[in-house]
């Protein structure tokens, strides 16, 4: 990415930081401070090239898969296969992208067969479906590798759109609710998040219609998807170790679908 693009992303985070400070909201301040730690790590990994992006995707995938296994009540064997599949697919996206689809299908078959081979007649079908969905849901992390230089501005746009959506949703409390899956979220927040994310893409010199749609459409859909899973499991967050967010899945939920949209349209 050019120096101008990096400066644009830095400026966007500075503006969002000022807005967060003015809001005085503890949760929002915690989120922004978490981003101060996360952004350099993500930037450093992606700046290292495809190998760094693959390691980043694998690391995120392992942590997210562990949280997902707990969320959906997978057994250790099923979680272990999901974790392994996500990590391997990230490396394959780097070293042998032409084999990615074949190995992804093999991974789906493997996780589906774990309860079968264990002779799990009670609840095996549900856990098999949960494990298969986990591999499908986390596969878009390979987009961090496949998108190349577009991955960094997309990640930055998703980060700022999250803060912008939070602010806009509370500034426009009368706007219609987005979905029964997440009653606190409003269409005003979706619009504010989209504007904030697209502005980051523009500032980074990476504004294209696939990335714009990934931010404007993919991000809120990803958030709703995780809300659906958490409601089904009866939990508020997938973890408690990431200040302002909860768990890693609570942070990358928007990014997962946004990456999928960006890869498909690109």
Q: Which residues pair with 34 in a beta bridge?
A: none
> What pLDDT is attached to residue 17?
67
Q: What is the 3-state secondary structure (H, E, C) of the chain?
A: CCHHHHHHHHHHHHHHHHHHHHHCCHHHHHHHHHHHHHHHHHHHHHHCCHHHHHHHHHHHHHHHHHHHHHHHCCCHHHHHHHHHHHHHHHHHHHHCHHHHHHHHHHHHHHHHHHHHHCCCCCCHHHHHHHHHHHHHHHHHHHHHHHCHHHHHHHHHHHHHHHHHHHHHHHHCCCCCEEECCEEEEEHHHHHHHHHHHHHHHHHCCCCCHHHHHHHHHHHHHHHHHHHHHHHHHCCCCCCCCECCCECHHHHHHHHHHHHHHHHHHC
> What pLDDT is attached to residue 90?
97
The residues near 39 (Cβ < 8 Å, ≥ 6 apart) are: 13, 156, 159
Checking if the pLDDT of 18 tops 70, the result is no
Segment 18-45 mean pLDDT: 76
Alpha-carbon distance of 77 to 160, in angstroms, equals 37
> What pLDDT is attached to residue 221?
96
What's the N-to-C CA distance of the chain in angstroms?
A: 18
Checking if the pLDDT of 176 tops 80, the result is yes
Segment 184-195 mean pLDDT: 91
Segment 163-191 mean pLDDT: 84
> What pLDDT is attached to residue 172?
78
Which of the residue ranges 2-16, 193-207, 246-260 would you say has the lowest mean pLDDT?
Answer: 2-16
Q: What's the pLDDT tens digit per position in 42-98?
A: 989 999 999 999 999 999 999 999 999 999 999 999 999 999 999 999 999 999 999
Q: pLDDT band at residue 20, thresholds of 50, 70 and 90?
A: low
Q: What's the pLDDT tens digit per position in 215-252?
A: 999 999 999 999 999 999 998 888 887 776 789 999 89
Query: 168, 170, 228, 174: which is closest to 194 by C-alpha?
Result: 168
pTM of the model: 0.90
Segment 185-205 mean pLDDT: 92
Cα angle 137, 140, 141 (rounded to 5 degrees) comes to 110
Q: What's the pLDDT tens digit per position in 99-158?
A: 999 999 999 999 999 989 888 878 888 989 999 999 999 999 999 999 999 999 999 899
More confident residue, 168 or 106: 106
> What pLDDT is attached to residue 84?
97
């Amino acid at each position: 990415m050019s120096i101008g693009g990096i400066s644009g992303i830095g400026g966007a985070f500075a503006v969002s930081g000022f807005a967060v400070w003015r809001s005085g909201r503890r949760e929002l301040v915690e989120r922004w401070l978490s981003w101060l730690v996360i952004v350099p790590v993500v930037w450093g990994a992606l700046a290292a090239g495809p190998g760094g992006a693959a390691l980043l995707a694998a690391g995120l995938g392992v942590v997210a898969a562990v949280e997902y296994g707990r969320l959906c009540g997978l057994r250790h064997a099923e979680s272990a296969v999901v974790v392994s599949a996500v990590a391997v697919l990230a490396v394959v996206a780097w070293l042998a992208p032409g084999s990615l689809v074949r190995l992804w299908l093999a991974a789906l078959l493997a996780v589906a067969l774990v309860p079968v081979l264990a002779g799990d007649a009670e609840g095996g079908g549900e856990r098999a479906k949960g494990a298969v969905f986990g591999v499908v849901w986390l596969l878009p992390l390979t987009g961090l590798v496949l998108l190349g230089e577009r991955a960094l501005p997309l990640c930055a746009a998703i980060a700022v759109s999250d803060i912008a959506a939070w602010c806009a949703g509370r500034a426009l409390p009368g706007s219609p609710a987005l979905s029964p899956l997440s009653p606190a979220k409003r269409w005003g927040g979706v619009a504010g998040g989209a504007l904030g994310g697209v502005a980051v893409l523009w500032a980074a010199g990476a504004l294209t219609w696939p990335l714009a749609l990934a931010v404007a459409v993919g991000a809120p859909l990803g958030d709703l998807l995780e809300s659906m899973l958490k409601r089904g499991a009866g939990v508020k967050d997938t973890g408690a170790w990431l200040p302002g967010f909860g768990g890693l899945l609570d942070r990358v939920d928007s990014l997962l679908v946004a990456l999928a949209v960006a890869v498909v349209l690109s």
